[in-house]
């Protein structure tokens, strides 16, 4: 279990690709503020098709607001 947490301390490549797809920038410090369960969900949540990307973007926006108190940064 600790090894899995260590794997999500940094933003995984698969998540960085999804962030690029939805046009949201997440700084490492903000990623690390997210609960491990949410980081896992973002890693595993599909984001290939337009409807999936819309859902991913919406979920990510809410998480950023809730856990950082800031608005998402778009790129």
Task: Measure the CA–CA gap between 74 and 22, rounded to whole angstroms.
Answer: 9
pLDDT for the residue 59: 98
Strands 24-25 and 73-74: antiparallel
Q: What confidence tens digit (pLDDT) does each residue in 9-31 have?
A: 999 999 999 999 999 999 999 99
Stretch 37-48: mean pLDDT, rounded? 97
Quick check: 51 pLDDT over 50? yes
Task: Measure the CA–CA gap between 41 and 51, rounded to whole angstroms.
Answer: 17
pLDDT for the residue 1: 47
pLDDT for the residue 75: 93
């Amino acid at each position: 279990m600790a090894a899995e947490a260590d794997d999500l301390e940094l933003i995984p490549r698969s998540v960085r690709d999804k962030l690029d797809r939805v046009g949201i920038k997440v700084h490492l410090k903000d990623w690390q503020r997210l609960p491990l369960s949410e980081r896992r969900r973002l890693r595993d949540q599909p984001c290939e098709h337009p409807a999936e990307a819309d859902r991913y973007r919406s979920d990510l926006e809410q998480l950023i607001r809730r856990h950082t108190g800031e608005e998402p940064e778009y790129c």
